[in-house]
Structure 1
Amino acid sequence: MNQIKVLDLQSLSQGLPAITPAFGAAIAEAGAICLTDEAHQPGVELGVEGEFSTQFKLDWQPVTEQTRRCWNDEEYTTEQAAYGIAFLLIVQLTNLTVIERSRKGTGFDYWLGNQDSVATLPFERMARLEVSGIRRGNRGQINARVKQKTEQTRASDTQGLPAYIIVIEFSRPISIISAKQNSEGTVFQ
């Protein structure tokens, strides 16, 4: 019998190569807000569809009133929460990790590199990551967002690197992961 793996949002506070522990802790709080606001309890299952088909249980710390006041901007909170879950999904489902924030205008959010080579600098940019969050959306809205974000990555297609597009919808919760192939037709996993 297969046991469902847990994505613990609090583990983001340990950081990643391009995510400081402080930023990781902050986006974990954003995730807790989004999931709690949608009436989910720790242990709720996140369905993953698209390039991968699996499920994870989500775990997070309780939301305090101070946390709610801090994360009062729903749009910003949803975006930050989506980053956190997307980072955990990339680390769990691929051999990649977040190695660098992308600059504005590139069409994607983060550079991804091999998890096995994070001890050696400089990190090799192996793929791109574009993330989007939707607090409450139907399947049509989710699919439209995936398409929009896939198109957005065209600005950096000249890099010749594959791209992962991850859309997180919090009311279900569900994650759609789309993989855009590189110029040789491959996607790293």
Structure 2
Amino acid sequence: MFGEPIELVLTDLSQGLPAITPALGAVLAEACAVCLDEQGHCQGVEIIVSGEFSAKFKLRWQTVTSQMLRCWNDEEFTTEQAAYGIAFLIIRQLTNLTVIERSSKGTGFDYWLGTIDAEGETPFQNKVRLEVSGIRKGDSTRVKARVKQKKEQTKPSDGKYPAYIIVVEFSTPLSFVAEK
């Protein structure tokens, strides 16, 4: 079912992406480290991706400090930011898409995805919506319920552009990717 897992180095987010500055990327990587560390995971823990894709990745992250734990004390916010970081890396590995722009409030999704080699394309030509959600600790029933909820949430922007919904669960860890 799975080949050899690809290593995802979460601190690579600090290199930035088209719509993620290196500073924000470093922040997202820190949130990932805190979520994984607080769930008791060791370096190289595997995250299973299911849904539209079947894949397995080994995660690597920076050492968590007591200062980081104090900084990232809001569990809900930390989980959301960490889910963004992992979702961005997973979607880049599994597709030719990357994050190209933050979405506006009220659209029902978080980011616009575009092709990695989008040089010279018309803005939003061949683009995809991305909605991300994180769960610190949950089972497959909770993950599937969250996917359903997020599919519903993207309805205001349904129409011309497809969407990926990515839910990242940190206790297992796993990620479910749905396409709409």
Q: What is the aligned partner in structure 1 of residue 153 from structure 2?
A: 152
Q: What is the aligned partner in structure 2 of residue 187 from structure 1?
A: none
Residue by residue over 1:46-75, the C-alpha shift from the partner in whole angstroms, topping out at 9 and shown as x without a partner, is 000000011000010000111111111000
Q: What is the aligned partner in structure 1 of residue 19 from structure 2?
A: 18
RMSD: 1.3
Q: What is the aligned partner in structure 2 of residue 168 from structure 1?
A: 168
Q: What is the aligned partner in structure 2 of residue 74 from structure 1?
A: 75
Report runs of 4+ in structure 1 exceeding 2 Å deviation. Answer: 119-125
Q: What is the aligned partner in structure 2 of residue 85 from structure 1?
A: 86
Equivalent pairs, count: 178
Residues of 2 paired with 1:166 and 1:131: CA distance?
5
Contact 1:165 1:178 in 2 (8 A): yes
Q: Which letter maps to 1:23?
A: L
**Residue segments in structure 1 that go unaligned for 5+ positions in a row:** 181-189
Residues of 2 paired with 1:176 and 1:86: CA distance?
10
After superposition, the Cα gap between the structure-2 partners of 1:142 and 1:2, relative to the gap in structure 1 and judged at 3 Å, is closer
Identity %: 63
Q: Which letter maps to 2:166?
A: I
Classify the secondary structure of the residue corresponding to 1:48.
strand
Residues of 2 paired with 1:120 and 1:83: CA distance?
27
**Residue segments in structure 2 that go unaligned for 5+ positions in a row:** none
Residue by residue over 1:3-43, the C-alpha shift from the partner in whole angstroms, topping out at 9 and shown as x without a partner, is 31011100000000000000000000000000000000110
TM superposition shift of 1:88: 0.2
Residues of 1 paired with 2:30 and 2:114: CA distance?
25
Q: What is the correspondence of 1:23-34 to structure 2 with a 5 Å cutoff?
A: 23-34=24-35
TM-score, with structure 2 as normaliser: 0.95
